[in-house]
Amino acid sequence: MDDIIVKYIEKPSLKEPVVVEGLPGVGNVGKLAAEHFKDVTKATKFASMYSKYFPPQVFVEENGVIRLVSNDFYYLKGTKKDQKDIIIIVGDYQGLTPEGQYALSSKMLDVVEEFGVKRIYTLGGYGLGKMIDKPRVLGAATDEDLVHELKKQGVIFSKGEPGSGIVGASGLLLGLGALRGMRCACLMGETSGYFVDPKSARAVLEILSKILKMEISFAELEEKALQIDRITSQLKEIEQVIEPETKGEDLHYIG
Amino acid sequence: MDDIIVKYIEKPSLKEPVVVEGLPGVGNVGKLAAEHFKDVTKATKFASMYSKYFPPQVFVEENGVIRLVSNDFYYLKGTKKDQKDIIIIVGDYQGLTPEGQYALSSKMLDVVEEFGVKRIYTLGGYGLGKMIDKPRVLGAATDEDLVHELKKQGVIFSKGEPGSGIVGASGLLLGLGALRGMRCACLMGETSGYFVDPKSARAVLEILSKILKMEISFAELEEKALQIDRITSQLKEIEQVIEPETKGEDLHYIG
Amino acid sequence: MDDIIVKYIEKPSLKEPVVVEGLPGVGNVGKLAAEHFKDVTKATKFASMYSKYFPPQVFVEENGVIRLVSNDFYYLKGTKKDQKDIIIIVGDYQGLTPEGQYALSSKMLDVVEEFGVKRIYTLGGYGLGKMIDKPRVLGAATDEDLVHELKKQGVIFSKGEPGSGIVGASGLLLGLGALRGMRCACLMGETSGYFVDPKSARAVLEILSKILKMEISFAELEEKALQIDRITSQLKEIEQVIEPETKGEDLHYIG
Amino acid sequence: MDDIIVKYIEKPSLKEPVVVEGLPGVGNVGKLAAEHFKDVTKATKFASMYSKYFPPQVFVEENGVIRLVSNDFYYLKGTKKDQKDIIIIVGDYQGLTPEGQYALSSKMLDVVEEFGVKRIYTLGGYGLGKMIDKPRVLGAATDEDLVHELKKQGVIFSKGEPGSGIVGASGLLLGLGALRGMRCACLMGETSGYFVDPKSARAVLEILSKILKMEISFAELEEKALQIDRITSQLKEIEQVIEPETKGEDLHYIG
C-alpha cells in the first residue's frame, strides 16, 4: 500500500484559495478552531487522506458504521467580493512519528498546491502550563511582510515566544511551505494545555475572521469543545483495556 | 527482502468466498474463535504470509522443526447449497508497528481480492476491564444495510461502544476493505481482557455460525483456550531471559 | 545510502560451504563460540556488512584507528578429505529493529547463497535465568532428518524447549533459509544469561566439532570470554555519559 | 517527499576543501566549537539540509520569521598561502533514529564529495561524568599516518578511550568516509557532559587552529556557550507543555 492515500470526492474549481489548518495538539486549540470554522461555514468535504503514519484504527459512528482515521480537506467558495476561496484541513490525528509528520505535511502541500494555493494559516495552541484568563494569539510567519500584516490584525509577535519553536503539522506546513515559495503563518492561542480550550480557540478564530474578512458565529463553540473533551476522555478511559489489541498477546518483549 | 512475502501452497478455486479473520488481541477472542473455527471445519492451508513487520522469531514445533512466525490463509469449500466458500485468516502476531499493521492488512486484502472476496468478517474482543458473565457480541460494519442484517442475527450495535473505535487488523480490514468496495463487519465479543476467553469466543462463533449457516462444535474450545493460555504464559516467563537475544549485548543505550 | 552495504575484500572460491553463525545474544554464547572458532581456525575475512540497521557507531582500535560497526564474513578451506569449506559469520551487533533483523538475515543469505551454501549452523544461548553446571546443547532444525542427524551428535531436542522459540538472527537464518530450500540448524547452549558464558560456548563448539569433523582447541576460550566481558562492562559504564551523543541536546521530548 | 532535501544557496568554487563538522552531542562541545569557528571566520552559508529524520519542528527567529530545523553547510576560502579552503557543517539536531543518522551522514558525504573533499575533522565531546579542570583532546582517525600527524599537534590517543567508540555523526562521518577513501579524524574534548562546555570547546579549537594553520579568537566563546545553554534550558522547560503537540490528543496508547 502507498504510504499515504488521497481519495477525492470531487475536485472543486477554486481560485487561489487560502488554506486553514487545525489538527490535534496542545489544548486541541487548532483542532477545535478549524472544526468549528468548517462547521459554521458549512464547508464541503472534497478529499480524505489515509495513511500508515496514522494509528491502525477505525472509529465507529453512532449508526454502527466505521470510518478509517483520516485527515480531511473541505472547501468553501468566497461569496462576497473580497472573500477568498478557502480550503480547510482537519483530522483525527497527526502523524505518529517524525517521519510520518514530514510525509503527511508534504502530501498536504502537494494536494493544495494543485489548487494554486499561495497562502496558508495554521492554527494551534501555545501551552503555558498554567491557567490563563485572556488568551493572546501569538504568531509566526514565513516572511517579515506577513509578520507586519498580522501584527495589524492583533497577532502578538513576542521575542523568544515560542522559545521551542512550533512542532507538528502547524510548524511543518510553514517550514515546508516556505521551501515551495508559499507564504504561511501560524496563529497560536495561549492555553493552559490541560483541557480542550474553547476560549483560546475563539481568540484564534476572531483573528482569523478579521484576516479572512468573514463573520464567524461562536454560538456552538462551547458545545463543540465539550464534545471533543468527551471523546478524549473516553479514549483515555478505554486505553488500558484496548492496549493489547494492536500488540498481540506476547509482543511486549520485543524492542 | 520484500516487506511482506506471500508463499502459496496452492491456489484453490473458490467462488466469491467470505473471509473470516481472527488474530491475537484483547482476550485473544478473535484468535481463539478463528483458530477453533479453522480446526473444527478442517480447513486447508493454502498460503502463508511472512514479514519484517512481525517479530524476528521462529517457533520450535514438538518434533524440533522450526516454523517462521506468520499469518496463514486457509480455505473451506461450501458443502451445502446455501453455504459460501470461506477463507480463514489466522496467525501468530499482528504487525509490530502501526505502519506494519497497515501494510499487512493491505496485503491480506490483495490476497483475498484475487479470489473475488466481497465480504469479510473480522473477529475480536471488546475489553471491559472487569469480569463479565454473559458476553454480548458487539458489531461494526462498513455500511448501514450490513448493520441491519447483523442486528437480525443478534449482534449488538450500541451507541458509543466501542468508544475508542477498533484498532489493529480487525479494524483496518474494515477501513481499508471499504476503500476497495468490500462489505465488511467486525464481531467483538465482550471480555475482561485479562485472559484468553473461551466464553467470549463461543459467543462470537455462535453469531458467526448463524451468519454462515454452518453448525460449529464447541467441544474442544475450552482445551484450545487453555493451550493458547499456556503458550502465552510460557512466552511471558521466558521473556526476561530472552530479551537480550535480539538486542545484542550493548544496544540498550541507543534510542 | 543503501540500507545494507556489503564490501568484499575477496570473493573466495568455495565448494558448497557450510555456514557457521554466531552474533551477540543471550550470554553471548553464539558470539563467543563463533569468534573463538574463527580465531583458532585462522579463518580469512572476505567481506564486511555495514548497515543503517546497526547503531550509528565506530569503534576505536588500540592504535587509534576507527572501525565502523559491522557483521563480517570469514572463510576456511577444508584441508582434510571429508572436511567441508566453511563460512563463518560474526559481528558487533544484531539489527536494532525487527525490520532490520529481517533485512540483515536476508542479506546474509544472499551473500552465502552465491557460494552455493546449502547448510547453515547458527549458534546461540538458551537462557535459563539461573546458574547451570553442565550446560546441555539444545537444537532446532528446518527438517526432521536434520533433527535425527543432530540427535546422534548429542544435541538435545526437548519438547517445549525453547518454549518461546528462537529470536534474532539465529532463528531468522533458519526461518528465511528454509524458504530458500536451505537446511539449517540452531545449536543453543544452556546458560544463565547473566554473563558471557565460556562453558556454554564450549559445549556448543564440542558439538560443532563433531558435526564438522574438526578438532577445536579450547585453550584460549576463557581469555576470549573475559575479553568480551570487559568490552561489555565498559560499554555499560560509559553508557550514561554517552547517551546524549546520538540524540542531540534537546531531542528527548520527541516520540 | 524525499527523505533528505538539500537546498543550495550557491555552489562555491572550492579547491580540495577540508571539512569541519560539529553537531549537538555530549556537552555540546562539537556544536559549540564548530559554530564559534564558523562565526569568527565569517564563513558563508551555501546549503541547507532538511530531513524527515529531524524533529518535525520550526524555530521562530526574533523577528517572528520561522526557520525549518536543518543542518547547514558553510564555506571559507583560504586567504593565506598554506591555508586550505574549508567547509563547516553545523546544525540544530542530529538524526532522531540510527537509520536517520546513517542516511544524514551519508548525504553529508555526498554533498562534500562533490567539492573534492579528501579530509574531514569532526568535533565532539568525550563525556567523563565528572568535572574536569584541564580538558585533554582525545583523537581517533581513519588511518595510522593521520594518528601520528595528530599526535604531533597535541591530540591524545589513549588505549581504551573512548572504550565505547564514537556514536553519532562525528563517528559515522569517519566510518562512512573511510569507505569512500576519505581521510578523517575526530577530535573529542573531555567534558563532564553536564552542561555546554566552553573550556572543552576551546581545547578542541586550539588543536584545530594548529592543524588548519589559522588563528581563532576566543573572545566570544563564553557568550556563545551561554547562548546555547539558554536555548537548551528553554527547550527543556517548555518541553512538558509542548509534548502533546506532535502526538495529538489520544495517541499515547499506541506503541
Q: Write out the DSSP string of B3-14.
A: SEEEEES-----
Report which of residues B245 and C28 the model is more confident about: C28
CATH number of the domain at B4-247, out of 3.90.1520.10, 3.90.1150.10, 3.40.50.10900, 3.40.50.970? 3.40.50.10900
Task: Report the alpha-carbon distance of residue B85 to residue B87 in Å, rounded.
Answer: 7
DSSP state for residue A106 in the 8-state scheme:
H
Distance from CA of A181 to the nearest CA of C (A): 28
pLDDT grade for B234, boundaries at 50, 70 and 90: low
Decide if D64 and A157 are in contact by the 8 Å CB cutoff.
yes
Q: State which residue of chain B sits closest to D100, comparing Cα positions.
A: B255
Question: Percent of chain A, pLDDT > 90?
Answer: 75
Weakest mean pLDDT among A211-215, A248-252, B175-179: A248-252
- A205, A220 Cβ separation under 8 angstroms: no
Set of chain B residues whose Cβ sits within 8 Å of the Cβ of C142: 65-66
Q: Is A167 an interface residue toward C (CB < 8 Å)? A: yes
Average pLDDT for residues A26-32, to the nearest whole number?
94
Q: At what angle do helices B198-212 and B29-40 cross, to 10 degrees?
A: 50
Q: Is the pLDDT of residue A79 over 90?
A: no
Using CA atoms, how far apart are residues D168 and D50, in angstroms rounded to an integer?
Answer: 17
A65 beta partners: B141
| Mean pLDDT value of segment B172-199 | 95
CB < 8 Å from A in window 9-68 of B: 23-26, 28, 31, 55
Q: Is the pLDDT of residue A28 over 80?
A: yes
Neighbours of D113 (CB within 10 A): 15
* pLDDT tier, A235 (very low <50, low <70, confident <90, very high otherwise): low
Tell me the residues of chain B between 85 and 104 that have a Cβ less than 8 Å away from chain D. Answer: 96-98
To test the contact with chain B by mutation, choose from D166, D249, D254 the residue with the greatest count of B C-beta atoms within 10 A, namely D254
Work out the angle at residue B150's Cα, subtended by the Cα atoms of residues B145 and B154, and round it to the nearest 5 degrees.
150
C77-113 tens-digit pLDDT: 988 888 899 999 999 999 999 999 999 999 999 999 9
CA A88 to chain CA centroid, Å, is 8
C-alpha cell at D229: 545553554
C167 touches chain A (CB under 8 A): yes
Would you give the DSSP letter of residue C65?
A: B
Summarize pLDDT for B79-103 with one digit per residue, the tens: 888 889 999 999 999 999 999 999 9
- Is residue C236 very low, low, confident or very high in pLDDT (cuts 50, 70, 90)? low
Question: What's the grid cell of residue D90?
Answer: 553545523
Residue B53's nearest CA partner among D116, A79, C142, A56 is A56
What cell does D221 get?
566563546
pLDDT of residue C234: 66
Which of A164 and D75 is assigned the larger pLDDT? D75
Pick the closest to residue D193 from D94, D148, D127, D142 (CA basis).
D127
With a cut of 50, say whether residue B74 has pLDDT above it. Answer: yes
The answer for residues whose C-beta is within 8 angstroms of residue A241's C-beta and 6 or more apart is B26, B127, B128, B129, B193
Provide the pLDDT confidence category of residue B235 given band limits of 50, 70 and 90: low
Q: Average of pLDDT values for B221-250? A: 60
Asked if B19 and B116 count as a contact pair (C-beta separation under 8 A), the reply is no
pLDDT, average across residues C206-215:
95
Chain A positions in Cβ-Cβ contact with residue C254 (cut-off 8 Å): 98, 167
CA torsion sign for D53, D55, D57, D61 is negative
B61 and A219 in contact (C-beta within 8 Å)? no
Measuring CA to CA, how many Å separate C145 from each of B186, B225, C18, C142?
44, 32, 17, 9
Residue C168: predicted pLDDT: 96
Q: Which chains touch D (3 or more CB pairs under 8 A)?
A: A, B, C
DSSP percent split of chain B into helix, strand, coil, nearest 5: 35, 25, 40
B108-144 as b/e: b if 16+ CB within 10 A: bbebbeebebbbbbbbbbbbbeeebeebbbbbbbbbe
The verdict on a CB contact (< 8 Å) between D98 and B167 is: no
**Phi/psi at A188 (5° precision):** -115, 115
A42 to chain D nearest CA, in Å? 25
Neighbours of A163 (CB within 10 A): 16
pLDDT of residue D246 exceeding 50: no
Query: What rounded mean pLDDT belongs to chain D?
Result: 90
CA atoms of B26 and C250, how far apart (whole Å): 37
Among the residue ranges B159-173, B227-241, C123-137, D197-211, the one predicted with the least confidence is B227-241
Question: Which of A132-141, C189-198, C220-229, D144-153 shows the lowest per-residue confidence on average (mean pLDDT)?
Answer: C220-229
Task: Dig out the grid coordinates for B169 from the structure.
Answer: 487488523
What's the predicted TM-score (pTM) here? 0.92
**What is the maximum span of chain C, computed from C-alpha positions, in angstroms?**
62
- Report whether B6 contacts B107 (CB < 8 A): yes
C168 touches chain B (CB under 8 A): yes
Kindly report which listed range (A224-228, D34-38, D143-147) carries the lowest average pLDDT score.
A224-228
Q: What is the pLDDT of residues D114-156, one digit of tens each?
A: 999 999 999 999 999 888 889 999 999 999 999 999 999 999 9
Q: How many CB atoms lie within 10 A of CB D129?
A: 14
Nearest residue to C110 via CA among B202, A180, B2, B58? B2
| CA A109 – CA C32 distance, rounded (Å) | 53
The mean pLDDT value for C3-22 works out to 97
pLDDT at residue C71 above 70?
yes
Give the residue on A whose Cα is nearest the Cα of C167: A254
Contact A202, A222 (CB under 8 A): no
- Give C114: exposed, middle or buried? Use CB within 10 Å, 0-12, 13-18, 19+: exposed
Chains A & D: contacts with CB separation below 8 Å: 167
The DSSP output letter for B117 is -
Phi-psi category of residue C193: left, alpha or beta, with phi > 0 → left and psi -120 to 50 → alpha: left
Grid look-up 552465491 returns: C114
Contacts of D107 (CB under 8 A, 6+ apart): C1, D4, D6, D49, D51
In whole angstroms, give the CA distance from residue C218 to residue C220: 6
Tell me which residue of C31, C205, C21 sits closest to C117, measured CA to CA: C21
Q: Note the pLDDT of residue B237.
A: 55
pLDDT in tens, C144-190: 999 999 999 999 999 888 888 999 999 999 999 999 999 999 999 99
Q: What is the predicted pLDDT for the residue at D132?
A: 86
| Closest CA of chain D from C247, distance in Å | 6
Q: Is the peptide bond before B24 cis (omega within 30 degrees of 0)?
A: no
Of D234, D244, D251, the CB nearest to A163: D234
pLDDT tens, D39-52? 999 999 999 999 99
Least confident of A62-71, B38-47, B195-204, D236-245: D236-245
Residue located via cell numbers 562546555: D197
Please identify among residues 199-238 of chain B the ones whose CB lies closer than 8 Å to any CB of chain A: 228, 231-232, 235-236
What's the Rg (C-alpha) of chain B? 18
Please report where in the chains the cell 539540509 appears, as a residue. D49
**Is A12 strand, coil or helix?**
coil
Stated length of chain B: 255
Sequence-ordered strand ranges (E) for chain D: 4-8, 18-21, 44-51, 57-60, 66-68, 71-76, 86-91, 119-127, 137-141, 166-167, 183-191
